[in-house]
Amino acid sequence: MAKKRSEPTGGRKDITRGGADRLTLSDMVNATGLLTIFLIVVQSVMPRHIYDTMGNERLSRLLDRVSFAVLLIGYAAVNPALPLSARPL
C-alpha cells in the first residue's frame, strides 16, 4: 500500500485567498476601491497644501478641477473594464 504524501500545510488547503491561484473579480474590485480612495486623499491634500504654503488659490482650484476630471474619467473607464477582464475559473 502506497504511503500518502502529506502537503506542506499539514494536509489543509491554503485558504488565504479562497483557494484561487489568480486574482478574482472581488480582488480587483477591492484593489480598485483602495487605489481610488488613496488617490482621492492625495488629491484633496495637495491643493490644500498649495493654498496654505504658497497662498495660490487659483492654482489650488485648477488642480482641484483637473484632478476631478481625471479621476472621473479613470473611474468611468475602469468600472466597465473590471467585469470584462474577469474570466471564469
Instruction: Give the C-alpha separation, 65 to 58, whole Å.
Output: 11
DSSP assigned state of 22: S
Q: pLDDT tens track of the chain, all 89 residues? A: 566 655 555 555 555 555 667 778 888 889 999 999 999 999 999 999 999 999 999 999 999 999 999 999 998 999 888 888 876 65
DSSP H/E element including 51: none
3-state secondary structure of 10: coil
Residue spans of the domains in the chain: they are: 40-85
Cell of 79: 468600472
What is the per-residue pLDDT for 8? 57
The pTM is what? 0.66
